[in-house]
């Protein structure tokens, strides 16, 4: 997958999956732009001194003006990969409107605004492009969202957006897809669920490989897909 001289945005690029995606992109020659919300994210990012890593922030991806300014300042954009988001458990009786809106803003609004800004930037360049979102298993299998209905609903919105944009932007040569992970094998998830069968969980490097293909020039036909990346879980 050849990303040489191609500019790629990775939101959530300082997280566990983000780091795996960024490193995979760097191996393939990409220029990687990573927005961050908290300065500490940038300061502890292990690849912050790489010449082709461009950290920008603080940026709140749920604020339209900040997202628009980020994308308007980029060189010709090839791909935008949206990993930023958040997770919260909670039965519906314990999840009030504020908690619901927090999930929607983190997971859906940020994704929507980045998709919008990326589409505008890619159309301006008239060279096509790729957008990759991150849904979740409960978005594809809503019954698995019991006890986390706000999260499941916000990720279902991401899935619907992906399929709608896959149709809308195809005529511009912009292919939009999403991956839908189950629980990822990260240190944080292992710590939270120490008795789980971690060996069954998908590894971040494996999920990154799927994301990279969907974002690559080699993907010429796949659009509107919601790709399950469950591992053996």
Encode pLDDT of 3-48 as tens digits.
999 999 999 999 999 999 999 999 999 999 999 999 999 999 999 9
Domain boundaries, the chain: 7-229
Question: Which position has the higher pLDDT, 231 or 211?
Answer: 211
Q: What is the DSSP string of 71-104?
A: HHTSSSEEEEEE-------B-GGG--HHHHHHHI
What pTM does this model have?
A: 0.96
CATH code for the domain defined by 7-229 = 3.40.50.720
Measured CA distances, 174 to 37, 82, 103, 118 (Å): 27, 15, 27, 10
Closest among 185, 95, 105, 132 to 13, alpha carbons compared: 132
Quote the percentage of the chain above a pLDDT of 90.
94
Encode pLDDT of 182-212 as tens digits.
989 898 999 989 999 999 998 999 999 999 9
Other beta carbons within 10 Å of 196: 14
Encode pLDDT of 117-159 as tens digits.
999 999 998 999 999 999 999 999 999 999 999 999 999 999 9
Residue 233 confidence class, pLDDT cut points 50, 70, 90: confident
> 151 and 159 in contact (C-beta within 8 Å)?
no
């Amino acid at each position: 997958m050849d990303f040489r001289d191609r500019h790629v945005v990775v939101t959530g690029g300082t997280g566990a999956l983000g780091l795996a995606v960024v490193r995979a992109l760097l191996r393939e020659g990409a220029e990687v732009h990573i927005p961050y919300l908290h300065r500490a994210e940038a300061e502890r990012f292990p690849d912050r001194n790489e010449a082709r890593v461009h950290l920008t922030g603080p940026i709140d991806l749920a604020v339209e003006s900040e997202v628009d300014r980020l994308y308007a300042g980029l060189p010709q954009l090839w791909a935008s990969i949206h990993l930023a988001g958040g997770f919260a458990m909670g039965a519906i009786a314990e999840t009030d409107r504020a908690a619901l809106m927090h999930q929607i803003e983190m997971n859906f609004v940020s994704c929507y605004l980045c998709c919008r800004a990326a589409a505008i930037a890619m159309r301006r360049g008239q060279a096509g492009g790729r957008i990759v979102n991150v849904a979740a298993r409960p978005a594809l299998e809503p019954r698995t969202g019991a006890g986390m209905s706000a999260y499941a609903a916000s990720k279902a919105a991401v899935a619907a957006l992906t399929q709608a944009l896959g149709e809308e932007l195809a005529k511009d040569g912009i292919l939009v897809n999403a991956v839908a992970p189950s629980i990822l094998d990260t240190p944080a998830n292992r710590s939270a669920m120490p008795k789980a069968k971690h060996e069954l969980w998908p590894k971040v490097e494996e999920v990154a490989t799927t994301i990279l293909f969907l974002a690559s020039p080699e993907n010429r036909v796949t659009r509107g897909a919601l790709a399950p990346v469950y591992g053996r879980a």
